[in-house]
Amino acid sequence: MGTHLEKAWLFGAHLQGAWLNQAHFESATLRRAHLEGAFLAQANLQAADLTDAHLGSADLSLARMESARFERACFDGASFDRALTSDAFMDGADLSSAREITQEQIEIMWGDSATKLPMTLRRPTNDFWLDLEVGGEAGDSRDERWFALWRQRLDEIAESRGGKPRSKSNLSAAARIGDSVRVSSRLEAQAMEPRKSSH
Q: What is the pLDDT along the chain (199 residues), one digit of tens a residue?
A: 689 999 999 999 999 999 999 999 999 999 999 999 999 999 999 999 999 999 999 999 999 999 999 999 999 999 999 999 999 999 999 999 999 999 999 999 999 989 999 999 999 988 888 765 554 555 567 778 888 888 888 888 778 777 665 544 333 444 444 444 444 445 445 545 554 444 4
Task: Check if the beta carbon of residue 142 is closer than 8 Å to that of residue 122.
Answer: no
Q: How many separate domains does the chain show?
A: 1
For residues 23-57, b (16+ Cβ closer than 10 Å) or e, as one string? bbbbbbbbbbbbbbbbbbbbbbbbbbbbbbbbbbb
pTM (2 d.p.): 0.77
Mapped onto helix, strand or coil, the DSSP state of residue 16 is coil
| Domain residue limits at 143 | 136-192
- Domain assignment present for residue 168? The answer is yes
The answer to whether residue 35 sits within a structural domain is no
